[in-house]
Structure 1
Amino acid sequence: MNLNRRQLIKNGLALGAMAALAPAIRAQETGLRTIFWGGQARAERTFKVFDLFSAARGGGPVASEFMGFNDYWAKVATLTAGGNAPDLIQMDYRYIVEYARRGALAPLDGYLGGALDVSDFDADQVEAGKVDGKLYGVSLGAGGFCLQVNASAFERAGLPAPGPETSYADLAGMVSDFNAANAGMHMLMDASGNEPALENWLRQRGKALYTPDGALAFDAADASEWFALWADLRGKGVCVPADVQALSTGTIDTSMLVSGKAATGITGVNELIAYQALVQDTLKVTNMPLVAAGGKGGHYRKPTMLWTLANTSTLKDEAVDLANFFTHDLEAASVLGLERGIPCSAASREHIVTGLTDLEKQTVDFFANLGDLLGDIPPPPPAAAGEIDLSLLRTISQEIAFGAKTPEAGGAEMVSGANDILARAG
């Protein structure tokens, strides 16, 4: 039986149901527990900060586990449903409304001005951690999504790497020369089931994923056009075929970019450093492809992730202290660098900026160079957004990619299914 994340929360399944996920576990000692998604590079930096915190506070080690993004949400849902959630849960902007409104998270307002200091945070990052006027999340860095590009692959083909003016049509026009020079590699990953890519495309066309009150903000014609775009790119050999894209499990090491199957990937801007560590070719970050030449972009700054406090935690004070340490301790800032995005604390940001490498400076400069391609952050998505992403968009996109559905049928099913999910959640 295929269970989605929302069903796990509602039904309260036993923790053993997801044992097959086999996450990487750092420690199982009693005391503070955390959970986060990410790869080995993120884990190593995170564990170093946990050790700094334990040494500074004279406490025991922080127990933690981490895994790839795709597996992460089922694991968190299972732990939450079973009443065994870690004290600190790394949270994504798209899911914070769901977990906060279900009572799974504890508000942090009572700690402000005391154990938790956000006084020198960027204002937009503080607001992004709020649900219904209460603070539930501490932003771990400002970031957003980008097109990460294997510049060397385009250089081998004698082609310009994608940049600010590149459209989807431009990429399609390069396919013959690119593929001839890069055996076994396609130009694009298949992003038809990638929610950030869909949202960016919608925003470029003056639309959105959701309205401010949590309703679907696009229609079947929009969804069909999106799926048709990728069907066309797939048919022309611009993006990887369905069976190749299916090899990606949501981890960096199985991504199309790192595996050498595609010369681009839709990633967080802050992930450039982790990706480059695994790829010999030169990588760079740029804006998402344009829908039309000279069009507006769909980018916005968002929290790359947030620390949130489990409502069931019996160590709330210590957990908030750890979250504050994570964002304010200067030695911790040096260890973390930009791996989780641009530090929100002005003091932490100023502390690390002078020592950044050229690669790290790319991530800082990304938003400054977007100009009119950068817009305002949308409101937090509705509680059911995670289910629509994981259980609907990804499934339908794969069915279309494998030829089981047409883009038109998939678009209609996407919208009707999303509306059904939103109605049930409401």
Structure 2
Amino acid sequence: MSSTKPAAALAAAALLGLAACGGGGTPHEAATEFAPDTEAEITFTWWGNDERADWMNQALDLFNQEYPNVEVVRNFNAWGDYWTARNTEAAGQALPDVLMMDAGYLGEYADKGLFLDLGAYQGGLLDTGGYADTLLASGTVNDQLVGVPMGYNAWSMMYNKDLLDELGVPYPAADMTLDELEAYVLQVNQAGAAQDPPVYGASDYTGSFPGFIYARMQEGEDVFTDDGGPAFDEGDVQDYLDSAAELRDAGDFYPVERTVALDPLGGFLGGEAALWFNFSTTVAQAMSDIGTENIGMVQAPTADGTHVLADHPSMLLSVAANTDQPDASAVLVDFLANSPEVKAIFGASLGAPPTDEGRAAVDQSASDAVDFGYLEAIDGEITESYPLLPSGYGSIEAKWGELHEQLLYGDIDTGQFTQELFSEMDMLLG
């Protein structure tokens, strides 16, 4: 990770620190009806590329067919520019009326009182009746609904069917234990050793912070405290890293040198490793990069083969506390979050639609079918909300990845990894 990233995160936090503290709220009694001919002007911003902007403009055009007198001033940015602009606006209490929000920033902004509590609109202008309680809870901060998920996904283990078929290795099971995973990786390694280049079972699966979050959930442990600090200690991190030490030390994971050479693809996306641990929506990226639709998906292994899963909001919609058009803003959030016509435009590109009606509106691609099928299969095991992420989370996640690469090269050991990670968190979280 570049040394400028922590500084950038601290600068963003400093800007937000200038924003007025205190809770958000509904500035007046929330309306339960909104006449189609109501006149209003609201601003709306999102991040993404030109393709997403085209889809969003189609969705907003549909909104204006229903509400022709609500002018929506539209704006979008690339990811980095988006947060630079939002942090500046937040410092001046001048956020757009409606804005796309990421789970990694939701708690930070909400704690500064920057969002309207949309809970007052539920059952009226905002229909959340088809949403899982666990998913809505991921958009709730300090007992206020401040983010409505546009889509969701869940942590998963993907596998390349084409590769495994070629090697004659059976597909991984949904109830695989960690010991069975280790044996499976070695089985694939042995079968793929004669390939050119060799095929491996997996890259080191302790390489991402979301994987650590998943492991904490299996143990029934929190990840962050209510005030945004780590709910784990250095020993917890070191134990997690050491759980894969035997494979790592023996060189049985996909080689880091090859990972760097293939960047940004890596082993799985480069078609040279059988397994990938990531959120389910990324199956679309996998199919595109590898060039096959034959990707399967099961739960990531655990110590005993049972799972504690959470629905992770892929992105959310929030309304600024400084809005002078709260009712019109709530109506726009409801339309974008719930309209089947909008879901038909975006498909699963924003995550799987949170409601049955929304998912039914999607003309499913091959990746959608795998993603939706997985989410349906694990529905009974989604019992938790995804942890609320603190200010500075993105830099923490990036630091984990940077340190893990150093670990794989042998430049540091797991003890040094944890010390440097906690030094970073001390700086970012206080």
- TM-score, normalising length: structure 2: 0.76
Task: Give the match for residue 169 of structure 1.
Answer: 182
SS state at 1:376 partner: strand
Equivalent residue for 2:400?
Answer: 393
Q: 1:119 aligns with which of 120, 129, 134?
A: 129
Q: How does 1:66-81 map to 2 (within 5 A)?
A: 67=78, 76-77=86-87, 80-81=90-91
Maintained 8 Å contact 1:164/1:287: yes
Other-structure match for 1:326:
336
Q: CA 1:79/1:138 → structure 2, altered by over 3 Å: closer, same or farther?
A: same
CA contact (8 A) 2:256 2:405 kept: no
1:87-106 alignment, distance < 5 Å: 87-106=97-116
Distance 2:189 2:57 in 1: 43
Instruction: Output one character per residue of 1:25-51: Cα deviation in whole Å (capped at 9) or x when no partner.
Output: xxxxx97331235x7765554443233
Counterpart position of 2:259: 244
Alignment: residue pair count: 397
Quick one: structure 1 residues 128 and 202, their matched pair in 2 at CA, closer, same or farther if it must change by over 3 Å? closer
RMSD (Å), alpha carbons: 3.7
Query: What letter is aligned with 2:385?
Result: I
Q: CA deviation at 1:169?
A: 0.5
Report what 2:76 is aligned to.
65
Tell me the equivalent position of 1:376: 384
Cα offset for 1:220?
1.9
Give the corresponding residue for 2:13. Answer: 10
Distance 1:77 1:262, change over 3 A: farther
| 1:305 aligned partner, one-letter code | M
Structure 2 CA distance for aligned equivalents of residues 406 and 54 of structure 1: 57
- Verify the 8 A CA contact 2:182 2:247 in the aligned structure 1: no
State the alpha-carbon separation in 2 of the partners of residues 160 and 50 from structure 1: 47
8 Å Cα contact 1:151-1:281 kept in structure 2 = no
Q: Distance in 1 between matches of 2:382 and 2:123?
A: 32
3-state DSSP of counterpart to 1:12: helix
Q: CA, structure 1 residues 368+318, in 2 after alignment: closer, same or farther (shift >3 Å)? A: same
Tell me, yes or no, if structure 1 residue 412 matches structure 2 residue 419: yes
The Cα of 1:406 is off from its aligned counterpart by 0.9
The secondary structure found in structure 2 opposite 1:271 is helix
Shift of 1:416: 5.4
Structure 1 residue 361 corresponds to structure 2 residue 369: yes
Equivalence map 1:5-84=2 (5 Å): 6-12=9-15, 32-36=43-47, 45-58=55-68, 63-65=74-76, 67=78, 76-77=86-87, 80-81=90-91
- Equivalent residue for 1:352? 361
Q: Does 1:199 align with 2:223?
A: no
* Secondary structure of 1:304 counterpart: strand
1:307 aligned residue (292, 308, 317) = 317
Structure 1 gaps, min length 5:
14-29
CA contact (8 A) 1:94 1:385 kept: yes
Distance, in Å, in 1 between the alignment partners of 2:147 and 2:139 is 4
Question: Which residue of 146, 154, 162 corresponds with 2:156?
Answer: 146
1:180 match: secondary structure: coil
Question: Does structure 2 retain, via aligned residues, the 8 Å contact 1:153–1:182?
Answer: no
Task: Answer whether contact 2:262 2:270 (CA < 8 A) is retained.
Answer: no
Aligned to 1:267: 278
**Pair member with larger Rg:** 2
The alpha-carbon deviation at position 385 of structure 1 amounts to: 3.8
**Kept after mapping to 2: 8 A contact 1:227/1:411:** no
- For residues 160 and 199 of structure 2, the distance between their equivalents in structure 1, rounded to whole angstroms, comes to 11
More divergent stretch after superposition (315-324 vs 404-413): 315-324
Q: Is the 8 A contact 1:157 1:182 kept in 2?
A: no
* Distance (whole Å) between structure 1 residues aligned to residue 342 and residue 51 of structure 2: 15
C-alpha separation in 1, matches of 2:302 and 2:385:
20
Deviation at 1:132, TM superposition (A): 0.7
Identical aligned residues as a percent? 21
Aligned residue identity for 1:7? L
Contact 1:258/1:279 (8 A) holds in 2: yes
| Cα pair 2:5 2:395 within 8 Å, conserved | no
**Where does the alignment leave 5 or more consecutive residues of structure 2 unmatched?**
17-40
Deviates more, 1:218-227 or 1:131-140: 218-227
* TM-superposed deviation, 1:135: 1.2
Structure 1 equivalent of residue 230 of structure 2: 216
Change (3 A) 1:190 1:313: farther
The AA in structure 2 aligned to 1:196 is P
Instruction: Report the Cα distance in structure 2 between the residues aligned to 1:410 and 1:77, rounded to whole angstroms.
Output: 30
Alpha carbons of structure 1 residues 274 and 169: separation in structure 2 relative to 1, 3 Å: closer
Q: Give the 3-state SS of the residue equivalent to 1:89 in structure 2.
A: strand
